[in-house]
Homo-oligomer: A and B are copies of this chain.
C-alpha cells in the first residue's frame, strides 16, 4: 500500500555500489577472484554488501565467462555400495574445489547421451563419467565446445579424453598371490568381463599372475557383478579352493552360497573380493579384499579436469589409482 516500489526487488551490484559510494566495476572486482581493490574500499563494499544481503549472481557470471562452475557427474546404479562411495567422494572433492556437481543418474543407452548433451546448455566446466562410456561422437562434441571429459574406470581410449583407472594390474596380481600364499592351488576368477572394463582387466591380470606362478586357474563368467550372481555361482563351483570375485558385492553372495552348501570359508575355499565396501567388514563376511581409494581417485579425476581446462590440446592422459590389500579372514 504505502510503497509503490516492489518490496522484493533483487539486490544487484548496482545497489551495493550506491550504498558504498563506488561504481559497479569496483563492486565486481571486490568479489572477483584475482581482484585488485584497495583494502579500504574493499571493506566498504563488503560491508555494504552484507547489510543489503547481496549475493553475486553466478548465472550472470557464467554468462560472461562463457563457463559456469558446474561439473556434470554421470552415474548409473548409484544403488551399488561402491558406486555410492565413488559419488560421495567425487561430489565432496568437487565442492572442495568450488565446483558444483550436477548429478545425472542415468540408465544406460540413448537416454544417457541425451542427458549428457544437456550439459552443454549450462556451459559446464567439465564432465566426469563414472558408469557409462559415451560414444566418440559425443566426446568430440564436447571437445569442440572446449569442455573436458574425464572417464573413470572406462576402457576405450578416445582422443583428448583423459581417464583415471584403478590399478587393476596390481589388484589382480595381489589377489592371485594372496590366494596362493594362503594355500590355494585351484583358482577361479568370477566376474562379468563382458560388461565391465574393470572386471575384464582384473581377470586378465589375475590369470596372467597365476600362469606366472604356475597355478591352475579358470574363469567363471556371470551376467552381472552382483550379489545374486555370486550366490548362484556357488552352486556350480567345484574343484576349486580359491576364488577371486571382481567385486565385494558378488563375493558376499558367493560366500553365502558356499555356506548354504555347507562349505567353510576359508578352509574349503578361500575368497577374495575387490572394492572394500562397508559390507566387507561385516562380521558375517569379514572379507579379505582389495581396497579402492575412491577419495584419491576423485582428486585425480579433478586434477585431470583442471589441467585440461588449461590446455585443451594436451595429449590424453591416463592416471592410475592405487589399490591396497585388506587382510581379513576369508583368504
Bound form: Cα–Cα A77–B123 in Å? 29
With A57-B63, A57-B121 given, is the CB distance from A88 to B79 under 8 Å? Answer: yes
Q: Does A85 lie at the interface of the complex (its beta carbon under 8 Å from any beta carbon of B)? A: yes
Q: Does A68 lie at the interface of the complex (its beta carbon under 8 Å from any beta carbon of B)? A: yes
With A231-B283, A284-B256 given, is the CB distance from A103 to B101 under 8 Å? Answer: yes
Cβ A102 vs Cβ B100 within 8 A: yes
9 pairs, A vs B, C-beta closer than 8 Å:
A59-B59, A59-B62, A95-B115, A101-B102, A252-B282, A255-B284, A279-B279, A284-B284, A284-B285
Cβ A256 vs Cβ B231 within 8 A: no
Bound form: Cα–Cα A146–B144 in Å? 38
Minimum-distance CB pairs A-B, first 6: A84-B84, A78-B88, A91-B105, A58-B121, A256-B283, A256-B284
Bound form: Cα–Cα A70–B59 in Å? 11
- Partner pick for A92 among B57, B68, B73, B105, CB 8 A cutoff: B105
Bound form: Cα–Cα A68–B115 in Å? 17
- Residue of B at shortest CB range from A92? B105
Enumerate chain B residues within 8 angstroms of A257, measured Cβ to Cβ: 283
Cβ B95 vs Cβ A84 within 8 A: no
A20-38 Cβ-contact flags toward B at 8 Å (1 or 0): 0000000000000000000
- Residue of B at shortest CB range from A105? B91
A281-297 Cβ-contact flags toward B at 8 Å (1 or 0): 01111000000000000
- Residue of B at shortest CB range from A76? B88
Closest-CB distance, A141 to chain B (whole angstroms): 8
* Identical copies in the complex: 2
Bound form: Cα–Cα A257–B283 in Å? 8
A262-305 Cβ-contact flags toward B at 8 Å (1 or 0): 00000000000000001100111100000000000000000000
Enumerate chain B residues within 8 angstroms of A8, measured Cβ to Cβ: 144, 146
Closest-CB distance, A11 to chain B (whole angstroms): 10
Bound form: Cα–Cα A88–B104 in Å? 9
Closest-CB distance, A278 to chain B (whole angstroms): 7
Enumerate chain B residues within 8 angstroms of A10, measured Cβ to Cβ: 66
With A63-B59, A283-B257, A284-B284 given, is the CB distance from A73 to B121 under 8 Å? Answer: no
A32-59 Cβ-contact flags toward B at 8 Å (1 or 0): 0000000000000000000000011111
A99-133 Cβ-contact flags toward B at 8 Å (1 or 0): 01111111000000001001011110000000000
Enumerate chain B residues within 8 angstroms of A68, measured Cβ to Cβ: 59
Q: Does A87 lie at the interface of the complex (its beta carbon under 8 Å from any beta carbon of B)? A: yes
With A88-B105, A102-B101 given, is the CB distance from A227 to B95 under 8 Å? Answer: no
- Residue of B at shortest CB range from A7? B144
- Partner pick for A252 among B59, B255, B284, CB 8 A cutoff: B284
Enumerate chain B residues within 8 angstroms of A57, measured Cβ to Cβ: 63, 121, 123
A226-270 Cβ-contact flags toward B at 8 Å (1 or 0): 010001000000000000000000001101110110000000000
